[in-house]
Amino acid sequence: SSYGGIYKDTFTAPSEWIRCTGEFTYAESDTKDIERVGIQFGGTPGSTVWVDDFKFGKKIEEKMINIIDDGKFEDGTLGSWSGWGNGSTRTISEKGQGYNSDYCMVMVNPSDGDSWSAQTAHSFPETLTVGKTYMYSAMVKATVINPDFTLQVQDANGGNGEGYVSAATVVDQWIPIEGEFVCKNEGITRLCINYGKVAGTYYIDNFKFGEKKETATVQTLRASTRAGGISYKLKTPEEKKAALLGAMEAWIKGMLQHQGMERVKEWDVINEPIADNNQWRGIDGNFMSNGDDAPDTAPVEDEENGLNLNWANDHFYWGYYIGKEYAVKAFEYARKYAAADVKLYVNDYNLETNPSKLAALIDFVNYIEDNGQTVDGIGTQMHVTASSITREQIDAMFKTMAATGKLVRVTELDVALGTSSPSAEQLATQANVYQMIFESYKANVPESQQSGITIWTLSDNAAEHEYWLSGDAPNLFDANYERKHAYKGVCDGIAGKDISADFSGDDWKNAYETEGEETPAE
């Protein structure tokens, strides 16, 4: 019956969007039964206030002791960041271009080269200690797709480096990169960001680097009563596993029943199970980001009651709670409820540029089959870039996939150009790449194993690329739904020849004349 509470931060709301953040420590001695948050905006009568992207919750403790104090760029300067190589540049972004903030660092690489051809560097305030574990995290995006965006630590002269401590694929939307490594060499004093592989503009924000904190012990939560009279008791790991397997079975059954079992002929049962470090996602402490808007972190541990069903950033991993068995059970349930002739697949990305990841995915398939289930096919997404993909890479991937004896399917094919206004030369290159992929598929995958190739969306129209490859032109039809060079590249690839030699755009008219009918009005 009281409107009393804890009054916290006060902000001035201007006529443009601003970001409001704050934190506080709550103690039961402050007040009782705090169950809601309120926004007070009655101070200016007649005003209209817009609020968006509101979040509230328990603060997640930093996982590292950050030693980079100029990684947010909100003062509008580069701070201590510098760089070199390939005519590359580093500047501060226009206001509003940062990741949920005003500013970020903009790095431009003018031409393709090696990964290390263009580098941005930052010196550490102290030399790293051999044997200690260090972490890094950042948000990045680019105007191109670069599968070889790497981080590296070095001594001051670059001659005693640890090698690459990270390898990520950056795309045209903000994605997190995060990882850790143990320092092995003496004298490590700086970090390098390598982005020279693919020409383009790169954006980086919220960069952090430092010694990894030890995992804090979480106090055991016993059966108790919360405000509102809700009683709870943590489940044991065995109970959680049983509950989650039940949920998995119910979901797979429901999906097949909803679609209509007779309509489902092929199903990608498990998608993207292998992280970019070639490990199983969610297994053995591997919580690599999968391209969403924040780095993944492990669920909270309870030293007496086992694993809590908590996770950060809306990422959930079956394997964390069930172990590798999750993959076997997923295929078991799919096989149980699907029609007898349905073909079941696993699917992943970057297999054409990362042979080690492909090998890990094949090991994943072998594990499932070694434990009594059958995987019918392997899918490769193939979001490729016209300027960097090679026939050798594609041939090698298809040969490796075909050697498994499984069905082989291309599931999400598109060919990025890095621009929404391609030149005639770029359009011709794109057409050649599409044709090359179809030809390689037919040449290296036996016909009995050819499941098909799916093109990822129809056209270059911006409405189809709001969340994927915006500002690019990766498809067979242009923004006005007119056929591009790539359309013919696909047709030639399917036909195995230049179809213009015996086919023309007038064939429809010739057919009418041959049958003695009048030509339709144009």
Boundaries of every domain in the chain: 64-212, 250-282+326-507
CA dist 239 and 307 (Å) reads 11
Amino acid letter at 306? G
Which of the listed CATH numbers 3.30.390.50, 2.70.170.10, 2.60.120.260, 3.40.50.150 matches domain 64-212?
Answer: 2.60.120.260
- Residues belonging to the chain: 522
Residue pair 335/374 in contact (Cβ under 8 Å)? The answer is yes
Q: H-helix or E-strand containing 495?
A: helix 485-495
Residue pair 386/433 in contact (Cβ under 8 Å)? The answer is yes
Question: Which tens digits make up the pLDDT trace of 470-510?
Answer: 999 999 999 999 999 999 999 999 999 998 888 766 665 66
The pLDDT tens digits along the chain (522 residues) read: 345 566 667 777 777 777 777 777 766 555 556 778 888 887 777 788 888 878 887 766 678 889 999 999 999 999 999 999 999 999 999 999 998 889 999 999 999 999 889 999 999 999 999 999 998 989 999 998 888 888 889 988 877 777 666 667 787 788 888 888 889 888 999 999 999 999 999 999 999 999 988 754 433 444 444 444 455 566 777 888 888 999 999 999 989 888 887 889 999 999 999 988 899 988 866 655 444 433 344 454 444 444 444 454 556 788 888 889 999 999 999 999 999 999 999 999 999 999 999 999 999 999 999 999 999 999 999 999 999 999 999 999 999 999 999 999 999 999 999 999 999 999 999 999 999 999 999 999 999 999 999 999 999 999 999 989 999 999 999 999 999 999 999 999 999 999 888 876 666 566 656 555 554 444
Neighbours of 79 (CB within 10 A): 15
Within this chain, domains 64-212 and 250-282+326-507 share the same CATH topology = no
> How many angstroms separate the Cα of 172 from the Cα of each of 143, 247, 295?
5, 35, 17
CA dist 369 and 372 (Å) reads 5
The alpha-carbon radius of gyration of the chain (Å, integer) is 27
Adjacent-strand bridge partners of 274 = 280
Backbone angles phi, psi at 209, to 5 degrees: -150, 140
Residue pair 276/288 in contact (Cβ under 8 Å)? The answer is yes
In the block, residue with structure tokens 């297994």: 283
Residue pair 276/168 in contact (Cβ under 8 Å)? The answer is yes
CA dihedral (292, 293, 294, 295) in degrees, to 10, reads 30
Domain 250-282+326-507 fold: TIM Barrel (3.20.20)
> Which DSSP letter does residue 216 get?
P
Burial class (CB in 10 A: 0-12, 13-18, 19+), 127: middle
Residue pair 80/123 in contact (Cβ under 8 Å)? The answer is yes
CA dist 144 and 416 (Å) reads 8
> Terminal CA-to-CA distance of the chain, rounded, Å?
76
In the block, residue with structure tokens 């939307």: 173
CA dihedral (364, 369, 372, 374) in degrees, to 10, reads 110
| All residues at 6 or more sequence positions from 10 whose CB lies less than 8 Å from its CB, including other chains | none
CA dist 146 and 351 (Å) reads 14
